[in-house]
A and B are shown apart, each in its own frame.
Chain A
Amino acid sequence: MAGSRSTPLQVLAYCCHYCAYAAADLAGVLRLRYPAEAKLMELPCTGRLDLLEVLHAFEAGADGIMVAGCLEGDCHFQQGNLNARRRVERIKALLQAIGLEPDRVRMFNLSSAMGKQFAEAAAEMTEQIAGLGPSPLRRAETQSIR
């Protein structure tokens, strides 16, 4: 699944160590299929999500950023995922101001036992990004080369 055959979509998935990354690991153990466009990155907690790093990812050509953390109330670090949710809202507002679609970033909450739901979330996110198409920054890059 990709916006264009020549430019495969890049969806980065920031996953917390205690839940989301474990769920992704479980999805792998269960041999569940989810899109190759989703590239996993491990954080100790989604509370560690860095707004600047997300911006740099978009600047480098990422089409979408998925943030996956523990279920609300069950964060290993108490409130990290709650801080992450507020930060994701801030990132959406910033993307809007920049001229990118706010839906290019999205947060999911799940537990480490939810391997199937992780695969579904990754598929849902990739489909959402495919609907938006490649990042307008990549199109702007192509136009400036012509």
Chain B
Amino acid sequence: MIIAEQKPLEEIKGLIAGAEKVLVVGCGTCVTVCFAGGEKEAGILASSLRMATKLDGNGKAVTHVTVQRQCEWEYIDPLSEQVGQADMVLSLGCGVGAQALAERFPQAVVVPGLNTSFMGLPTEQGVWEERCAACGDCILGLTGGICPIARCAKQLLNGPCGGSQDGVCEVDPETPCAWQLIYDKLKAQDRLHLILEIQPPKNWSASRDGGPRKITREDLRLAAEQSE
């Protein structure tokens, strides 16, 4: 899932400085699960901003609302009236959600309340770690289910590098070497032959490097939109 963190309150105050009425919009999906922008966090932020701006002598009317998913038109369309009544929309959705609001409500001034970081999972309660880099050309079948694009600092396809010491990446002693993990996993499953074959340079055009991506499924499009 998408993992994000709330921006510091001071930075958010700066973003909403020019507005009198602010609508905080939370999201009930990824950012709820990583405790950054769900209903509870939206309520906490709205209350914090009301108090902080009042203490600054510039009290603002801050309300909040949370939608199930901030990245889909059908879920954000019902916000139309509330968005129209606010001077500014403070999105607690991920970067996708914030942009969806900006795109669906072109008159609205939308600012981000979160820093969207990565795609990952909670390895334990309260700890989230990166697992997928959305490279568009998944090779997990060759690496025992461990991704060298997301988890290797150098994104090597034929690792490890010389910086791998005692199973740890030279970049950070807390970070395991992805290729050590891949080796250990494949050895345990008696599938080491998978990494004996040298992989050619990666086709990065399927990744972010190829520009903004788009996927179209003609079989799923509505007939009316297809004929456009």
Chain A residues touching B, majority SS: helix
Is A52's CB under 8 angstroms from B51's CB?
A: no
* Interchain Cβ contacts within 8 Å, total number: 46
Contact residues on A (Cβ < 8 Å of other chain), bracket? 10 to 19
Chain B residues touching A, majority SS: helix
Q: B54 interface residue, CB < 8 Å from A?
A: yes
- A92-146 at interface with B (beta carbon < 8 Å): 94, 97-100, 136-137, 140-141, 143-144
Complex: A99 Cα to B40 Cα, angstroms: 21
Complex: A55 Cα to B48 Cα, angstroms: 7
Complex: A125 Cα to B124 Cα, angstroms: 36
Complex: A52 Cα to B57 Cα, angstroms: 23
Q: Closest CB-CB distance, A101 to chain B, in whole Å?
A: 11
> Which residues in B have their C-beta under 8 angstroms from that of A59?
47, 50-51
Known: A52-B40, A98-B48, A99-B52. 7 other contacts (CB 8 A): A59-B47, A97-B10, A98-B9, A100-B51, A136-B55, A140-B55, A144-B59
Interface residues of A (CB under 8 A from B): 51-52, 55-56, 58-59, 94, 97-100, 136-137, 140-141, 143-144
- Listed from nearest, the 8 A-B pairs whose CB atoms lie closest are A99-B55, A55-B47, A97-B9, A98-B52, A140-B54, A98-B51, A52-B43, A98-B48
